[in-house]
Chain A
């Protein structure tokens, strides 16, 4: 009992190795087919390795979602920074994106080779149709509670109109919508 305690204390005091940080994020980057990557990161950081407490994880997730960039990448950056500083952030991020990056590079070469082949084009047409359904499903899942409330719904519709009907560029859409949305959701009290 006493031994267990002291080893737990020791583990807490030890710094996380950069190699281990890299490998753990590399594993997530390699196995997370079909999305849900933040869930894998939560299991790694709070359960498998206990590198972050629940609260620390939730705080990092909130910042990841607030800042621009991919949530999973931001989360890796924040976790890596917390554990090993700037170099840790870089290592965690590289581990996370390396397997997928290798995958898409191979896919990219294959695509360049097979682009003009009729069967490849038919396959891609089916894949693209399903990917459209996937994107719609993700949008619905993330947006479902926002579609049912008036304030978020107005912002969603206005953003869509500026982007897809009036064809403004993204920076203008954000310059117009962000202040309005921020005003509508300003902290009260």
Chain B
């Protein structure tokens, strides 16, 4: 029970701090999961990456952490606590907005939060990269997928699956990472 409450508070907090979308909380989530729930950085980055293969909103992989920490109940707890608080807040503010109407301050808040959220995403790239890049092969695959996704219209899911297969084959063959 204690662990469920802890999960609920942790992900409820992350939900309300997710400025500019879920990816902004990646570095914080990685830190908290490691210090409070014993999810090491490698597991974090594996689960995060698996989540990128799923359809729908891109942070649903948080359920896997709930599952690993406290089973099905844990996954349910994480689902509710990560998605409900921000949604309720958005619902209430959305209704208020209809009454108040557009104000220059809404634009100001959005303009102010965008660069903060991008800074947090950069931190996210940094912390995911530290866990995912362990040698020349993984570094090469990361750069390759960055370039392919930036300069082609290939669906990232195919890139990730392709890199998984090619990476596994090459790592098996060469023993490099």
Contact = CB atoms under 8 A, between A and B. Distances in A.
Contact of A142 (B51, B113, B116, B121): B121
Interface stretch (A1-9, A11-19, A43-51, A132-140): A132-140
Given A59-B102, A86-B91, A159-B120, A128 B45 contact: yes
Interface residues of A, number: 94
Given A70-B59, A89-B87, A126-B168, A185 B112 contact: yes
Contact of B132 (A122, A131, A142, A186): A131
Interface string A80-93: 01000010010001
Contacts, number: 369
Contacts of A130: 49, 141-142, 144-145, 159-160, 162-164, 167
A87 to B, nearest CB: 11
What secondary structure prevails in chain A residues at the interface with B?
A: helix
Interface string A85-124: 0100100010011011101110111011001000100111
Contacts of B155: 33-34
B104 interface: yes
Most central of B16, B109, B129 by chain A CB within 10 Å:
B109
Contacts of B91: 77-78, 81, 86, 89
